[in-house]
Amino acid sequence: MTWILLLSGASAFVVTAVAIPLVIRLARRGGFLDHPGPRKSHAVSMPYGGGIAVAAGFLFSMAGGLGAAWAIGRGATFGLPPEVTRHAAGVLSKGPELATLICGSLVILFLGAVDDRRKLDPGIKLLVETLVATGFVLGGERLSLFWEGSTVGNLVGGAVTVVWIVGITNAFNLLDHMDGMSAGVAVMACVAFGIVAGVTRQWFVASAIAALGGAGLAFLRVNFPPARIFLGDSGALFIGFVLAALTVNFTFYEMGGGMEPAAWAIPLVILAVPLYDTASVVLTRLRSHRPIFEGDRNHLAHRLMDLGMTPRGAVLTVYSMTAMTGLAAILLLQVDGLGAALILAQLVLTFAIISLVDQAGRQRVAGSR
């Protein structure tokens, strides 16, 4: 299966890397640009469209894998070793799930691209995201809860799935406030989710995660500070939606016949940093009686910069925090109930410390006014 993961990630990386220069040229020619403004850190107009390149890499890898599996099922081998070709039937069996994911992600990508161009009303965006998430659930995909098979369980599971998808989709959009932030955190999350998927032998999810991670890594080469192109809402929403949707396809409990005590917390732990950043920003805006979708400089990375960090230093610090939560999530698969409780308690204390540092940044800014 290592071959499949490598092919999935490498193909997405190559397609995204090839697409980026073309997207940059087309964005500049068509005026698809993010212009400098009061709440923006860039001093020159920057091309949008990075999300289109990321989507192209991810979708090419997924569609290519499905097409290759179809051909292998009809006798082709492409020179691949038997340990790869024998999984063709399993890949084809995931066709309906992949079709649901691709259709939903394309709608989200288009929604973000229109917003980049015309600045849609936040309510319209939220409505479309909710409809897409609901369609995803009606297509047969939802979070597995602990009381499967009952009507209540299905309804609650569907509702939680919609909230989860919409929440994570917007969390990565809100996280896209600094060069390299959203894409880099997504790559770190993909590494953690990919390891979990591999350890639990969920190969379809692992290959899709590898494709998203490969596409994100290729984009990060030109988006890490100082960026040459932006994700835009199209890219940030696309990445958030795909990550959220793929976690729905995971089985986080009853792995290998047993039940890990806190395996249900794995997606929450891996995505703790974007969730924390989103929660803190939303709460700050609510306290200030401002719209929650109005941009500002109240994100964690901005507070780190207020304490004296450079933009690169702030971004790397957030990466390190994401790596820390990812390692903690992987450990949740290996420990008993007491060990899981200790890991979760440590994370709570860590984010309490981060909150204190965050508050210090806020007070420093307030005191300088």
Structure tokens at 127: 């409505």
Residue type, 83: E
3-class DSSP state of 39: coil
Q: What per-residue confidence (pLDDT) applies to 250? A: 75
- How far apart are alpha carbons 79 and 22 in whole angstroms? 31
Q: Helix H segments across 41-118?
A: 50-72, 82-85, 88-93, 95-118
Q: How many angstroms separate the first and last alpha carbons of the chain?
A: 57
Q: Chain-centre distance of CA 356, in angstroms? A: 26
Q: What per-residue confidence (pLDDT) applies to 255? A: 45
18 C-beta neighbours (distance < 10 Å), count:
13
Number of domains in the chain: 1
Q: What per-residue confidence (pLDDT) applies to 258? A: 46
Q: Helix H segments across 176-306?
A: 181-199, 203-223, 232-249, 266-270, 272-287, 300-306
Mean pLDDT over each residue of the chain, to the nearest integer: 85
Q: What per-residue confidence (pLDDT) applies to 239? A: 97
Segments in the chain below pLDDT 50: 253-259
Q: Tell me the per-residue pLDDT of 328-355, one tens digit each, with 9 for 90 and over.
A: 999 988 888 888 889 999 999 988 988 8
Residue-range definition of the domain harbouring residue 261: 2-368
Q: Tell me the per-residue pLDDT of 107-124, one tens digit each, with 9 for 90 and over.
A: 999 999 999 888 899 999
Residue type, 263: A
pTM of the model: 0.90
The length of the chain in residues reads 369
Cα-based distances in Å from 283 to 54, 96, 178: 31, 39, 20
Structure tokens at 283: 């709460």
Q: What per-residue confidence (pLDDT) applies to 307? A: 82
Q: Report residue 216: phi and psi, to 5°.
A: -65, -40
Q: What per-residue confidence (pLDDT) applies to 67? A: 84
Q: What per-residue confidence (pLDDT) applies to 251? A: 62
